A = this chain, B = another copy of it.
Amino acid sequence: MQHFECDYLEGAHPLILKRLTETNLEKTPGYTADNYCETARQKIRTACEKPEAEIHFLVGGTQTNTCVINALLRPYEGVIAAQTGHINQHEAGAIEAGGHKVIPLPHTQGKLEADTIDRFITDFYQDESYEHMVNPGMVYISHPTEYGTLYTRGELEAISHVCKKHQIPLFLDGARLGYGLAAPGTDVTLPVIADCCDVFYIGGTKVGALFGEAVVIPQPGLIRQFISTIKQHGALLAKGRMLGIQFDTLFTDGLYLQISKHAIRMANILTDTLKAKRYRFFAEPQSNQIFLIADHTTIEKLKKEVSFAVWEKYDDEHMVIRIVTCWATREEDVKALCNLL
């Protein structure tokens, strides 16, 4: 049986386990106040070219989204997201549990367009009763998106411009950020993201860590006492150095990008085979997630030998399925899958 259903099937990059083991009996302060977190912060600041950036480490994506969004919004504001945004679909209502509406906008293969956002906000404030409605208080985008697609630098800058124009912050969910940065031909780098976004996070859980997400706030002080919001949401890890050690390792000698590139190479092998075998793509494959349109017969047949995610209905005869590679995907497994397809 081949496993390609998601990018969190394995543990962590072996170097991480090695360092966790080496440092295991050291005594350090809790709650990410240790030196490992501090060196990890420095390395991330350097990678982002933002020497002043404020950096926080959290355990998982849903809690990171919740903490950031709760900290940025006023009570009567909501967060703009693509209809397909993770916060709108797969977080069991975490944003609403914090008191805020997710304002879903139409998307193109998971991507929001600057114009869509601009038009929505402009129209919103032209409505005489805007004070009776949830005000758009920030924009949430994912990069790569939930369909694996990527923004270009120009698209990100355009969205950033719209946010600045309307004086609301832009937050980028980078749960799979490594796979976006490692994609061939992308012009989006960490410094570009740090220039465009008010807050973003660098995903560890899906990119080589046991768990962990690094929140970057390029302008320190944007969020007051964020640590308290993190604690209130149960997202402040007691043994915080587990996060510091993992991100320090990932941001030493370019490991984060290097393992991401491996996942992309594995995905590309798959994509080439799928194209050759005339599979239909639901979204243009750009990172480590591949979305296909498959009929029920094909799905049933494949299911016997490969595990993958059945994503959503396409039409009465077809479903959208998702195949995912990651930092740990072995080339031999990819080749075995290619033979099966």
Residues of chain A in range 60-87 having any CB-CB distance to chain B below 8 Å: 60-66, 70-71, 74-76, 78
Chain B residue with the shortest CB-CB distance to A65: B234
Q: Shortest Cβ distance from A166 into chain B, in angstroms? A: 15
Q: Is A255 engaged at the interface, CB distance under 8 Å to the other chain?
A: no
Binary per-residue interface labels of chain A (23-55) against chain B in the complex, 1 for a CB within 8 Å, 0 otherwise: 111111111000000000000000000000000
Q: Report the Cα distance A90→B127, complex, angstroms.
A: 11
B76:A229 contact, CB within 8 angstroms: yes
Q: Is A285 engaged at the interface, CB distance under 8 Å to the other chain?
A: no
Residues of chain A in range 90-134 having any CB-CB distance to chain B below 8 Å: 90-94, 96-102, 123, 128-129, 131-134
Q: Is A227 engaged at the interface, CB distance under 8 Å to the other chain?
A: yes
Name the residue among A26, A28, A75, A229 with the largest chain B CB count within 10 angstroms.
A75
Known contacts A14-B24, A92-B132, A133-B89; decide if A75 and B234 are in contact (CB<8 Å): no
Q: Is A283 engaged at the interface, CB distance under 8 Å to the other chain?
A: no
- Which of the four size classes fits the interface of chain A? 35 or more
B78:A96 contact, CB within 8 angstroms: yes
Neighbouring B residues of A220 by C-beta, 8 Å? none
Q: Chain copies in the assembly?
A: 4
Binary per-residue interface labels of chain A (270-310) against chain B in the complex, 1 for a CB within 8 Å, 0 otherwise: 00000000000000000000000000000000000000001
Q: Is A161 engaged at the interface, CB distance under 8 Å to the other chain?
A: no
Neighbouring B residues of A98 by C-beta, 8 Å? 97, 99
Q: Is A268 engaged at the interface, CB distance under 8 Å to the other chain?
A: no
Q: Shortest Cβ distance from A111 into chain B, in angstroms? A: 21
Cβ-neighbour of A17 out of B24, B66, B310 (below 8 A): B24
- Offer 23 A-B interface pairs, CB within 8 angstroms, sorted by A: A9-B29, A10-B26, A10-B27, A11-B242, A14-B24, A31-B132, A62-B234, A70-B75, A75-B97, A76-B92, A76-B93, A76-B231, A90-B133, A91-B132, A92-B134, A93-B99, A93-B232, A94-B234, A97-B98, A101-B102, A128-B310, A211-B238, A234-B235
Q: Which 10 A-B pairs have the closest CB atoms?
A: A63-B234, A76-B228, A11-B24, A92-B232, A9-B27, A62-B234, A92-B231, A93-B134, A96-B101, A8-B238
